[in-house]
Amino acid sequence: MTIRNPCHPTVPVIALLVCGAGCEVRDPPPEPVQRDSAGVTIVESPWVAEWAEGAEWRIEEEPAISIGEVDGEAPYLLSHVAGALRLDDERIIVAHHDPASQIRVYDDEGRHRTSWGGRGEGPGELSMPPFSLHRGTEGEIVVPELGAWRVHRFDRDGTFIDRAALEYERFVDPETRIATAGCCAFAQVLPDGTWLIHYPEEGIIAGSGVRRGEYVLGRFNTEGEWLGIFTRYPGRLWRPGGSDERPVVPLPLTAIFSTAVHGEEVFVGNGAAFQVDVFDAEGAHRRSLRLDREPPPFTDVLRAGYIERQSEGAERLQGSDRADEVRNRLERDLPDRLPAFSQILIDPEGRLWLIGYRVLGAEDEPRTATVLSPDGRLLGQLTLPAGLRPFQVGDDWILGRTEDELGVVRVVLHRIARPPGS
């Protein structure tokens, strides 16, 4: 973290009183540079943190709440957690994948109180495991199924409201593009209550050499009716595949798509740079928030661990020939830098948390969260507890999941230590 000016004997006493013991008084960081580009406001901030030394935020290492056990009663045995939310009354709801397809509800001390859903076709039951959890604009809980073909809504007490089957429609020009998967994934609840659905990425065939694909965001109402494309967004890099079966091949780790909603705005990024694009509720691009910083390097140690893990998986499933093929492809295609971030979270005060990429083969390495003010200025970076995969950030807490060396999955809440007045 860059500190511009240390305390100096000539600094006024009042400044020392405001700063308090243990932090340094300094000149404010440079202001972001703003410019207009075809009606979009570009805000570029220097990589100079506003949190002074001694006044940084910090995530406490030990969780204040931990849900999940090695053995015990069924509600505390977590295998695959698809999502978790902390509600305003401090209850924690957890979307549990297998085998029950339940939404499990815990109190503010992590004690199980009730469960919703369950596997089945009746009202309030899920035919597929839950994909994620979202809060609707009226406080309802939105639960998409895996694959996002159907979306369920419950009130905050678990009473079933309704469910909708998505009227999935899509056309991809086979001469210029290739769809990379069959359906879609639920992304966000938009400010007007409609749903943002992340379609499979489209790899671009036309032309030669490496091309950047596109992510497609579609919009649906709560009856599941398709309302049109919200936006298209730059995706991964692709290269020609050299065969009719694989006309294009994705280059790994060249984009990690993420979205978030706060107020009337939708925040979108792909991790290719420290940049978040801000759209209004109708899909018009209004702002781009940028940091003057390159993404972190993909070091030799991280690359070696990543290649080894991918190769081991290929050998276990498909044999040594396939493992050699995977290893050769990765050695050729892996980028020199990691994604700048893999996830966008927004706290209640509108600060953006850009969560660092979790590298396969180095899952236990601590990641950082780069925190921006609502107008895009760099506040600072925090180290996440080892193994934490965040779901939600509150005023003074962060909620996520962990998995230990025994494979025990837990939902944990860590407190965020914030200096007074911050």
> Where are the domains positioned within the chain?
33-298+335-417, 299-334
Whether 397 and 65 have beta carbons less than 8 Å apart is answered as: no
| Residue 7: predicted pLDDT | 36
Torsion angle of alpha carbons 230, 234, 235, 238, nearest 10°? Answer: 140
pLDDT at 140: 95
Whole-angstrom distance, CA of residue 194 vs CA of residue 225 = 10
- Residue 196: its pLDDT value, please? 95
Residue pair 144/130 in contact (Cβ under 8 Å)? The answer is yes
Query: Looking up tokens 């509150």, which residue turns up?
Result: 394
pLDDT on residue 24? 54
Q: How far apart are CA 92 and CA 77, in angstroms?
A: 15
pLDDT at site 247: 82
Inter-helix orientation angle 300-318/320-333, to 10°: 150
Q: How does pLDDT run along the chain (422 residues), one tens digit per residue?
A: 333 333 333 333 333 334 444 555 567 778 899 999 999 999 999 999 999 888 899 999 999 999 999 988 989 999 889 999 999 999 999 998 877 789 999 999 999 999 998 888 899 999 888 999 999 999 999 999 977 789 999 999 999 999 999 987 777 888 888 887 777 889 999 999 999 999 888 888 877 789 999 999 999 999 999 999 999 999 999 988 867 667 888 899 999 999 999 999 999 999 999 999 999 999 999 999 999 999 999 999 999 999 999 999 888 888 877 889 889 999 999 999 999 999 999 999 999 999 999 998 888 788 999 999 999 999 999 999 989 999 999 999 999 999 988 889 999 999 999 988 77
Predicted TM-score (pTM) of the model is: 0.90
Residue 28 is predicted with a pLDDT of 75
Q: Which residues pair with 372 in a beta bridge?
A: 352, 378
C-alpha dist (Å) from residue 374 to 50, 211, 219, 341, 387:
13, 32, 25, 17, 27
Q: What is the largest CA-CA distance in the chain?
A: 73
HEC sequence for the chain: CCCCCCCCCCCCHHHHHHHCCCCCCCCCCCCCEEEEECCEEEEEECCCCCCCCCCCCEECCCCCEEECCCCCCHHHCECCEEEEEECCCCCEEEEECCCCCEEEEECCCCCEEEEEECECCCCCCECCCECCCEECCCCCEEEEECCCCEEEEECCCCCEEEEEECCCCCCCCCCCEEECCCCCEEEEECCCCCEEEEEEEEEECCCCCCEEEEEEEEEECCCCCEEEEEEEEEEEEEEECCCCCCCEEECCCCCCCEEEEECCEEEEECCCCCEEEEEECCCCEEEEEEECCCCCECCHHHHHHHHHHHHHHHHHHHCHHHHHHHHHHHHHHCCCECCCCCEEEECCCCCEEEECCCCCCCCCCCCEEEEECCCCCEEEEEECCCCCEEEEECCCEEEEEEECCCCCEEEEEEEEECCCCC
For domain 33-298+335-417, give its CATH number from 2.30.30.100, 3.30.750.24, 3.90.1150.10, 2.120.10.30.
Answer: 2.120.10.30
Asked if residues 158 and 143 have their Cβ atoms less than 8 Å apart, the reply is: no
Residue 218 φ/ψ, nearest 5 degrees: -105, 160
- The CA distance from 354 to 234, in Å, is 18
Closest by alpha carbon to 164, among 200, 189, 181?
A: 189
